[in-house]
Amino acid sequence: MRYDQARWTNDEARYEPLLSEKSTTEVSTDDSPLPDDLTRDSLALPDLSEPELARHYTRLSQMNYGVESGPFPLGSCTMKYNPSFTEDLAAHPAAAVHPDQPTRTTQGTLELLFGLQDYLGRIGGMDAVSLQPPAGAAGEFAGILVAKASHEHSGEGQRSEVIVPESAHGTNFASAAMAGYDVVSLASDDDGRVDLDALEAAVGEETAALMLTNPNTLGLFERDIEAIADIVHDAGGLLYYDGANLNALLGQARPGDMGFDVMHYNVHKTFATPHGGGGPGAGPIGVTAELAPFLPSPQVERSDSGYEFVEPDHSIGKVHGFYGNWLVLVKAYAYIARLGDGGLEDASAKAVLNANYLAEQMDFEVPFEPFHHEFVASAGDRDAADVAKRMLDHGVHPPTTKWPEIVSEALMTEPTEVESRRTLEHLAEAFNAVADEDDETLAAAPESTAARRIDQVRAAREPRLSWQSLGEYTGGRTH
Amino acid sequence: MSDNHSRGSPYAPHTEAMTMAMLDAVDAESEAALFDIPDTVTFDGKFDIPERSERATRRHVEGILGRNDDLTAFMGRGHYDHYVPSVVEDLAGRSEFLTSYTQYQPEVAQGFLQALFEYQSMLVALTGLDVANCSMYDGATALGEAVTLSQRVRSISGDRVLVPDLLRDGKREVLENYAAGPGVIVDTYSTADGNVDTAALEETFDDDVAMVYAENPTVRGTIEEHLSAVGDLADAHDALFCLGSDPVALALLEAPASVGTDIVVGDASSLGIGTAYGFGLGLFVTREEYLRQVPGRLVGAATDESDRRTYTLTLQTREQHIRRERATSNICTNQAWVALRTAIHAVWLGPDGLLDLAESCVTRATDLAARVDEIRGVKAPVHDRHHFREFVAHTDQPAGAVRAGLADNGYGVHAVGDHEIQICVTETTERAVEEFIETLAEVAV
């Protein structure tokens, strides 16, 4: 299969022109109802009719690739199909309530939130869930704050370190640092898993928590998870579960049963809410009963008179101005309610089957096994970034590249459960065709996308981050 | 595909035969055999979540949402309802936008990148500052990020940040959580009649202040009259001046750059989303000199092999996936799709429409306050200021009782003091103003 993305080209220097280049009008605030000293003088913004702007954004959409365009096996990102019906539910007029309304007028919203807290608790094996964090990284931050509050509450406030495996998501390091912790990096063993000896050596009186993804970023299940939990707990630390890879485990294993004390869920991964070109997501956190008193405020509880907000006894307070990404939570609830036990379990089973089947068809070597919902292939002596660019010409989105670094020229691949056998074979053909091409062809790719290979170096060296700063920057290479 | 599924995920296309053939190809006896999970942690229980058809799921969720009262909310305080034209839903809902990912492969994601570049540019136009990022979660988390930025860029050390006593409780709690990591102390300054009390602010200001925060309009709906004074105080102490606002207000009120603002934060979801239970879009705009310390994703212009102008995520060495614990923020997933919606809405309005909308926020609030003031038992506005969208009213009756009485009749307002309610009015609630006033007159006596 080949792919030619729509490409709207204006002239030698531009593709689709900017809004500001189409039409801009400057208006004066002279006739405003406010005194002059409280207003700006004028405002210059694009001025397009509705038909013109509809065409502008339709063209832009045609120069963009989503899950409904084709396969999207981006490792660690779980780009599964986003069911359409959940969009209708999020757009339902009854979902449009104001966050400060009295809770007796928002019983439907609280019931849905309570239901989702309950669903996620069961799925993760956790005793209590907060839906407030608006993204996975926000969940990490909230979860680590919960761990910190619990240590301080029990007089262990001296614990100053969070341990993170070297192969972990970058957010783990950054979230722990934002919460005020020193980050201790932990090397993997030769099998790509946590090195127990290194962990033994790393833990101590300073240890606040270990953050872990399971299966890890290589797709491998940390088989020693119980020993890991014992080591961390014996040292007085807590075990944090990064839910980025939960799509491997639905109905198979639960973080709460493995000894994790706190976790986050990425509902935009596991529970199929759309990624929206970078967000919004939602990053609820689940905790054990021991940590529940420290959860963000408020929690939804059910009483005889209905649903109500309750502030946990030792709450860390809030991590979002209101109640998190409500519309995303509606979609996640609807997805879980649609799939139920059987659908959720099957989603993970098929995600793992698809990853295995795809890897089996591919020529690139996969050094670490047995993997689950994702695997990391090595592009060998090819440049993984070039491989990725060339795959675009085959009508597929490439995998995550050059990470984790434990595999050289990594191609981190996660096909998800939504691809058919035929699509997986097509994906494998794309990988294999690219593997057979010469370096020059790869370096010249992509050729059939809206834009050709982009010069990242110049973009960073001469930052132009708005149309106001463009000046003469309309093409023309400087090297 | 059947709507009634009982064999697994309705979104996995595998037939029984396909599954068997694939298992055969990977040399596995069963799907279970593919999992390398020790028996001791294998889950053999049930979630007890029933499977439902799409039709039944819709009925189930609509049933739950239907238990929300149909309230006409004259409410704001940081979350506003402006009319969102259908074209926003239609265009932002295109699956190429909605189902795409962060633009790690810019050649195949030019559309979204250009839309975000345009969004950043419109924020630059609205604020007069130099650099906007392509989104944070909401106004509260954007404020938290502003505080951590102030810790990284300031030449003299200081561990205090000053916020108004009127700051929304939720925003303050979020700020405290962001400030705790770098060890920043959140201190309060007084307000006078709904605006900054400049004398009180001057008194508490010192060289240990890293950042001062003010809002325009304030959370009580007043238009701030002392922004330049705040900017001057910040300058005098080499502190950063962070202003909270939103795109509608920015279209009319003093341009932040002209009053010495260093960072503008706020909730940009006043355009593009409408009432959504606080679902937001954090805006973050600052000066060029702080570019390397900006949190979150930045879209920049670039060129491609054909020498044409393109767009790409840039300056990524600030970000967590490269810089890890030394990143400017942990943010990864953001609110890009909401930024797209906000941008489309802003373009649909155009400069005239946006300015008209902003002016109507002043006149509607002013007019409604005057009407409310005529009601026996109510005085409005409490503050002798200009107002934007909303205002505080004094009620002789306890505010909680007035709020409850209004809710019983299908109207929402805020109770913000023992005898103070807050009322917000926009084009979406104006149709109900007459009935609202009648009802308020009945419950306020």
What CATH number is attached to the domain comprising B374? Answer: 3.90.1150.10
- Are B30 and B172 within one domain? no
Share of chain B above pLDDT 70, in %: 98
Give SS3 for A84: coil
pLDDT of B257 strictly over 80: yes
Average pLDDT over residues A212-229: 97
Test A50 with B348 for CB contact under 8 angstroms.
yes
Inter-chain residue contact A252 with B35, CB threshold 8 Å: yes
Residue B3 has pLDDT above 60, yes or no: no
So what's the pLDDT on residue B63? 98
Work out the angle between the directed axes of helices A326-361 and A421-436 (0-180°, nearest 10): 60
Sort strands A24-28 and A42-46 into parallel, antiparallel or unpaired: antiparallel
Q: How confident is the model at residue B156 (pLDDT cuts 50, 70, 90)?
A: confident
Nearest CB neighbour to A45, from listed B12, B48, B122: B122
Asked if residue B185 belongs to a domain, the reply is yes
Closest C-alpha among A387, A366, A398, A295 to residue A71: A398
Q: What is the CA radius of gyration of chain A?
A: 25
B7 lies in some domain: no
Q: Does the pLDDT at position B2 exceed 80?
A: no
Of A26, A105, A459, the CB nearest to B312: A459
With a CB cutoff of 8 Å and minimum separation 6, the contacts of A353 are A417, B14, B19, B22, B23, B26, B31, B34
Kindly state whether residue B299 falls inside one of the protein's structural domains.
yes
pLDDT averaged over every residue in chain B? 96
Residues B357 and B413 grouped into a single domain:
yes
Q: What is the pLDDT of residues A163-212, one digit of tens each?
A: 999 989 999 999 999 999 999 999 989 888 999 999 999 999 999 999 99
Tell me whether residue B66 is in a domain: no
Name the residue facing B314 among A252, A253, A463 (closest C-beta): A463
Q: What is the pLDDT of residue B21?
A: 98
Tokens found for residue A167: 């192969």
A294-328 b/e with 16+ CB inside 10 Å = b?
Answer: bbbbbbbeeeeeebbeeebeebbbbbbbbbbbbbb
| Residue B439 and residue B406 in contact, taking contact as beta carbons nearer than 8 Å | yes
* Residue B119 and residue B180 in one domain: yes
Q: What is the pLDDT of residue B4?
A: 44
Q: How far apart are CA B368 and CA B391, in angstroms?
A: 9
Q: How far apart are CA A12 and CA A474, in angstroms?
A: 9
Taking the CA of residue A370 and the nearest CA in chain B, the distance in Å comes to 7
CA-based nearest residue in chain B for residue A52: B348
Q: Give B326's contacts in chain A (Cβ within 8 Å).
A: 177
Task: Quickly tell me which residue has 């075990």 as its tokens.
Answer: A239
Residue A15 lies in a domain: no
CA distance B338 to B105: 21
Evaluate if residue A479 carries a pLDDT over 60. Answer: no
Strand-by-strand arrangement of the A375-378 sheet: A375-378, A410-413, A400-401
- Looking at the structure, tell me whether residues B208 and B246 fall in a common domain: yes
Helix or strand or coil: residue B18? helix
Residue B217 is classified by DSSP as S
Average pLDDT over residues A437-448: 96
pLDDT exceeds 80 at position A474: no
Is there a domain that residue A266 lies in?
A: yes
Mean pLDDT for A243-272 is 98
Report yes or no on A135 lying in a domain.
yes
Asked whether the beta carbons of B144 and B285 are under 8 A apart, the reply is no
Q: Report which DSSP code applies to A371.
A: B
Assess whether pLDDT exceeds 50 at residue B5: no
The 10s digit of each residue's pLDDT in B106-129 is: 999 999 999 999 999 999 999 999
Mutation target vs A (from B4, B15, B43, B216; most A CBs, 10 A cutoff): B43
* Residue B396, both tokens: 């002789």
b/e code A130-147 from CB counts within 10 Å (16+ = b): bbbbbbbbbbbbbbbbbb
Asked if residue A366 belongs to a domain, the reply is no
Please check whether residue A189 lies inside any domain of the structure: yes
Determine the Cα–Cα distance for residues B346 and B126; give it in Å rounded to an integer.
11
% of chain B beyond a pLDDT of 90: 95
Q: Locate all alpha helices (DSSP H) within A179-274, ordered by sequence.
A: 196-202, 225-234, 267-270
Confidence at A298, pLDDT banded by 50, 70, 90: very high
Best mutation target, A169, A353, A390, A425, to test chain B (most B CBs within 10 A): A353
Would you say B154 and B210 are in contact if contact means Cβ atoms under 8 Å apart?
Answer: yes
Average pLDDT score over chain A: 96
Q: Is A54 a residue whose pLDDT tops 60? A: yes
CA distance B108 to B169: 43
DSSP letter assigned to residue B258: G
Round to whole Å and give the CA distance between A201 and A179: 24
CA–CA dist A291, B285 (Å, integer): 37
**Domain of A134: which CATH number?**
3.40.640.10
Q: What is the CATH number of the domain that holds B285?
A: 3.40.640.10
The residue-averaged pLDDT of A336-365 equals 98
pLDDT digits (tens, 9 = 90+) for A455-470: 999 999 999 999 999 9
pLDDT at B321: 86
Round to whole Å and give the CA distance between A82 and A67: 8
**How far, in Å, CA of A81 to CA of A96, rounded?**
25
- Can you list the positions of beta strands (E) in B97-197? 131-132, 160-164, 185-189, 191-192, 195-196
What is the mean pLDDT of the segment spanning B201-205? 97
| Reported ipTM exceeds the 0.85 cut | yes
CB contact (8 A) between residue B100 and residue A67: yes
User: Tell me, what's the pLDDT at B1?
Assistant: 45
- Looking at chain A, the whole-number percentage of residues with pLDDT higher than 90 is 96
Q: Which two tokens stand for residue A340?
A: 């139920």
Whether residue A105 and residue B69 make contact (CB cut-off 8 A), yes or no, is yes
Look at chain A and report how many structural domains it folds into. 1
**Could you tell me if B291 and B131 are in contact, meaning their C-beta atoms sit under 8 angstroms apart?**
yes
Pairing between β-strand B263-267 and β-strand B240-245 as defined by DSSP bridges: parallel
Rounded CA-CA distance A348/A248 in Å is 5
Given pLDDT bands bounded at 50, 70 and 90, which one contains residue A1?
Answer: confident
Closest CA to A397 of A354, A352, A446: A446
Query: Does the distance separating the beta carbons of A321 and B141 come in below 8 Å?
Result: yes
Of B101, B25, A363, the C-alpha closest to B14 is B25
Q: Give the model confidence (pLDDT) of A105-122 as tens digits.
A: 999 999 999 999 999 999
Task: Select from B23, B40, B47 the residue whose CB has the most chain A CBs within 10 Å, as the one to mutate to test that interface.
Answer: B47
Q: Find which of A466, A467, A470 to mutate to test the B interface (most B CBs within 10 Å of its CB).
A: A466
Minimum distance, in Å, between the CA of residue A95 and any CA atom of chain B = 6
Residue A57's closest CA among A16, A4, A5?
A16
d(CA A242, nearest CA chain B) in Å: 14
Taking CB atoms and an 8 Å limit, are A346 and B7 in contact across chains? yes
Amino acid at A455: D
Residue with tokens 């238990």: B67
Q: Which residues contact A199 (CB under 8 A, 6 or more apart)?
A: A163, A186, A210, A228, A231, A232
Q: Point out the residue among B18, B68, B78 whose CB comes nearest to the CB of A107.
A: B68
pLDDT at B6: 53
**How near does any CA of chain B get to the CA of A352, in Å?**
7
Q: How confident is the model at residue A441 (pLDDT cuts 50, 70, 90)?
A: very high
Tell me the C-alpha distance between A40 and A361, whole Å.
63
Residue B64 dihedral angles phi and psi, to the nearest 5°: -65, -50
Asked if the Cβ–Cβ distance from B18 to A420 is below 8 Å, we say yes
How confident is the model at residue A475, as a pLDDT?
A: 52
Pair B50, B39 in one domain: yes
Q: Across-strand partners of B397?
A: none
Q: How confident is the model at residue B59 (pLDDT cuts 50, 70, 90)?
A: very high
pLDDT reported for residue B154: 82
Backbone torsions φ then ψ of A46, nearest 5 degrees: -60, 145
Q: Contacts of residue A130 in chain B, CB cutoff 8 Å?
A: none
pLDDT bucket at A471, cuts 50 / 70 / 90: confident
For residues B170 and B32, state if they share a domain: no
Cβ-nearest to B174 among A140, A319, A353: A319
8 Å CB contact of B310 and A454: yes
pLDDT for res A477:
43
As given in the structure block, the two tokens for residue B200 are: 């009180």
φ/ψ region of B16 (left if φ > 0, alpha if ψ in -120 to 50, else beta) reads: alpha
**Partner-chain contact A174 B117, CB within 8 Å:** no
Q: Look at residues B313, B343, B373 and tell me which one is the last residue of a structural domain.
A: B343
Cβ pair A47:B131 closer than 8 A:
no
State how far residue B376 is from chain A, nearest Cα, in angstroms.
25
Q: How far is A108 from chain B (nearest CA, A)?
A: 4
Q: What's the pLDDT score for residue B256?
A: 98
How far is Cα B137 from Cα A141, in angstroms, rounded to an integer? 13
Q: Which of A4, A18, A56, A61 to mutate to test the interface with B (most CBs of B within 10 A)?
A: A61
Q: CA-CA distance, B349 to B85, in Å (whole number)?
A: 9
CA nearest B120 in A: which residue?
A466
Among A337, A346, A357, beta carbon nearest to B25: A357
E strand or H helix that includes residue B169? helix B169-180
Instruction: Say what the pLDDT of residue A476 is.
Output: 45
Q: Are residues B270 and B360 in the same domain?
A: no
Model confidence over A299-349: pLDDT tens digits? 999 999 999 999 999 999 999 999 999 999 999 999 999 999 999 999 999
Q: Whole-angstrom Cα distance, residue B191 to residue B125? A: 29
The stretch B406-420 carries a mean pLDDT of: 98
What is the torsional sign of CA A161, A183, A228, A247? Answer: positive
Closest by CA to A275, choosing from B301, B362, B28, B338, is: B338
Question: Stretch B154-172: mean pLDDT, rounded?
Answer: 92
Would you state the pLDDT for residue B120?
Answer: 98
Structure tokens at A457: 């170096």
B383 shares a domain with B322? no
* Amino acid letter, A432: N
Whether residues B191 and B332 fall in one domain: yes
B145 chain-A contacts, CB cut-off 8 A: none
Categorize the per-residue pLDDT at B25 as very low, low, confident or very high, splitting at 50, 70 and 90.
very high
Task: Look at residues B294, B318, B343 and tell me which one is the last residue of a structural domain.
Answer: B343
Mean pLDDT of B414-423: 98
Q: Are residues B256 and B367 in the same domain?
A: no
B313 and B196 in one domain?
yes
**A50 half-sphere exposure, CB direction, 13 A CA radius:** 9
- The answer to the question of residue A297 being in a domain is yes
Domain-located, residue A205: yes
What is the span of the domain harbouring residue A191?
85-338
Confidence bin at A353 (pLDDT 50/70/90): very high
Co-location of B311 and B298 in the same domain: yes
Domain hosting residue B30, numbered range: 16-59
CB B273 within 8 A of CB B341: yes
More confident residue, B4 or B51: B51
Comparing CA positions, the residue from B398, B120, B227 lying closest to residue A18 is B120
Count of structural domains within chain B? 3
| Contacting residues of A for B31, CB less than 8 Å apart | 349-350, 352-353
A68 found inside a domain? no
The dihedrals phi and psi of B302, each to the nearest 5 degrees, come to -150, 175
pLDDT per residue over B357-405, tens digit each? 999 999 999 999 999 999 999 999 999 999 999 999 999 999 999 999 9
